[in-house]
Structure 1
Amino acid sequence: MLKGDAQLDQSLEKAVESRRSAEAARKARIFNTRLRVMGLDLDALNQQIKEKKQQENKEKLQSEAFDEALLQQDINEKEKRQALQKDLTHYWATKQKLNTQDGGWKNGLQGAFDITIPEAKLGPASMQKFQGEDVNWKQMRKEQVKMTERDLKGQMDENIRRQEREKDRMLEKQEMLHQNQEQLHQDALEEERKKAARIALYSFNQALAAERVESLKEQHRREERENLAEMWHTMTSDMLTECADAGERDVGGGKPPQILPDRWKGMRPEQLRSFQREREQQCREKQKAEEEEIGKAEKMRELRIQLDRHNMQLTREQQAQEYLNKKLYTNKPTKDYFHQFNTSSR
């Protein structure tokens, strides 16, 4: 038992290892950029086709062996049934015959063992009828014989129907075997068609890969020509010759020339001198404006100081007046106060 388990484990490990190897090889083919971009791998395709054919042949042989085993099993079962039926029929014919030349079985045991000696001369041990015995046993025997005949006829009919069913099952199995063979033939044709399609696809991919390689070469040659032309133009253009006129374009109409930013090499000496003069003039004007601003700010500061002093003087005067009005002269005298003085000549 343990030996069988060990063999089963080894076979499972081998199957798992083979699947892992196949998966690793498949990943190596799929993730190979060169093969995926340039085209298919013919060796890998041929190997796949070979492996698939071997697998199909193996499955076909297994299916044929299984079908042969099923047919042989059916034949053996049929032979066993026929032998059993033959033995049963022989048993029915020999052991359960309805009509025999001996009338004793048909007429019952009473006729078979009929004694011709007179009953008066027989003793108690030779009695043929007893009290309680059924006197209609012959009629019952006939009914039993008829029932047995019906049962035998039913068994024969059932045997015939069973043989017909066996024949139908055999025909169905033959038809299924024929269909399986036809399906295998169709599968073989389909595999041939797929193989032709794969070969055509491989040829098409090879043509596309060759066309792509040629297109890439032509593109590379065109880029090289364009790069050489650009280098030659750059070397012979005004950009490397430091020509100042290359950065300007005359637009006419008395307008100043237009500056080309990609070719401009800087200002000319007279432009630099003019720019320097304008910058110095702007500096002088700016300095003068700053001095004027400083003078204005100084005047505004003096004016604010004077205004602050005047406001402070007004504030002090207002505070003094408020002191006189609210604190010092709180009880202002009335006319009666002044009328009490100088009322007489003395």
Structure 2
Amino acid sequence: MYKVDLPVDESVLKAVERRRAAEAERRSRIFNTRARVIGLDLPALHKQVEEKRERLQMEKQRDKAHDHLRLSLDEMAMQQQKEEEEFRGELARELIQYRAIHQRAEDSLDADINYGQQGAQDVNISLADSALGPASMQVFQGEGINENERKRAQMEITERNLRTQKLEREKQEREQKNRELLTDRELVENDLRAVQLDALEEECKRSAHTALSCFHQAQVEERMEQERQEKLKREGEKLAEVQYMVTSDLLTERPEAAERKAASSAGGPRVLTDRWKGMTPQQLNDIHKHRERQCFEKERWREMERLKELAWDCHLMEQARYQEGEEKREKELERERRALLDKYNQQLAREQQAHQHYLDKQLYTNQPTVQYFTQFSRSSR
């Protein structure tokens, strides 16, 4: 068998080269510290900047197009205004020229009145006898043939117009009279209605005044009756007071009445100072006995209070001794707990030191070299 050099497939080589380029680009992007730490997406940022630049450019072009359009519209408006002014000037000049040629004041029918002429030139005047010439004549041959019929027709039209104007004026006058009659009738009706309303208002006022007068009269009579009753009541009270003072115990000075009043009062027996003649021996003895009884009760109450205070002081002392004993016991228990906790912490420290010694001296004896760390992150995959 002979060795034959077969052609290499270009698509495979291109695919390999494409994968190598993609791998190189990916590796440069992944192993780029700035992009990996900060997280910048440069293609997206460049795309946003480009889009913003294009948007600003489009807005500038749009504004420029609007400015050109505005300038062109202004120019068109100014051109149109200028053309209108020229057209109006041309019309004014033509109107002035027409009036100067065809509407001269000296060519009118009343030129002889306005300018002191003796009438228009006659057609029979020859050109040789006239100093004005044919261009200055106002009446020519062939004109004024049907002048009478024209004047008659003009008079009929004028008369018809006058008659029409007269009829219209009469119609307007009748309508005005009708409107005035309606207005007068409405005013009369309003006046009658106002008069009726005024009459009704006066009647209501009179009725209200009459009712108010009756009410006031009733109030006056009631007030007079109340004053009379109050006067009779005051007079009766004064007579009763005089009668009471005449028959009272103050003037009669009866001790029986005073003792009976004192016994029947709501507050029990009480001393009437205005009629008091002094205390009896029995009352004095009762007062002394009652005072001695109060003194004895007061002394007994003081003795009871002293005994209560002594009992309370003993109770407080017992409570203080008990509280002091409880505090001593709690301190002893706290000291025992602290000693147990210190022993437990020491045991934990010894165990942790032994575990750390085991890790450092027995387990982690093979330290990694630099080649161990550099073997990682060699590829983007």
The TM-score with structure 2 as length reference comes to 0.33
Larger Rg: 2
